[in-house]
Amino acid sequence: MRADESSWQTNYWTTVLLPATQKYCQEEAQAAAGKRDPSGMGFRGAGIEAAISGMWYVVGSYIGLEDDGEAVRRENWNAEQIWMADTSLLMQMIDDWIDQDEDLSVRSTAILSRDWSPEGIQNLYRKTVADLTQLLNKNGVRNGTVRTLFVDLYTDYIYAGLDAMKSGIAL
């Protein structure tokens, strides 16, 4: 599949995605060794960033990254990218909450260390809903019913992910 990638994707693979994936593997090894993450993220930050970097690799040309390679740097993310990152973090928080009994004997997580709490998860969910509403407004979706529909679909997605995690379909 990589044979069809653009020159931007080839460069991005080497300079962004591969290092992000390597950092993720290093953090997973530290978590598996039972170390505590000083950032309070339970060694989840690098995995979230690697997942987001993977999305950018695929959709970069659709969100303007091929025109500006600097846009992939976190400090240059636009509102859509920040919302995607926050949603990824929210899903990780929910997953860690569901898996806390299994993780107790296997790895350190931000749920187990109490760096993440149900209140923090709820607050991030509220932020992602507010940010989604702002994104809809920014992109010209002004009809309140349509905005409510998008937020309801987003919430349904969260619950579908939650159900999949509980059932073991999603890991």
Residue 162 class from Cβ within 10 Å (0-12 exposed, 13-18 middle, 19+ buried)?
middle
**Domain chopping of the chain, boundaries:** 2-167
Q: Is 37 strand, coil or helix?
A: coil
What pLDDT digit, counting tens, does each position of 91-104 carry? 988 988 988 888 88
CA 99 to chain centre: 17
The DSSP secondary-structure symbol of 129 reads: H
**What value, to the nearest 5°, has the Cα angle with vertex 86 and ends 83 and 43?**
150
CA distance 134 to 142: 10
pLDDT of residue 44: 83
What pLDDT digit, counting tens, does each position of 34-79 carry? 888 888 777 888 888 888 888 888 877 776 666 555 656 667 778 8
pTM here is: 0.78
Confidence of residue 154 (pLDDT cuts 50, 70, 90): very high
Phi, psi of 65 (to 5 degrees): -70, -30
What pLDDT digit, counting tens, does each position of 105-125 carry? 877 788 888 888 999 999 999
Token digits of residue 97: 């909450």
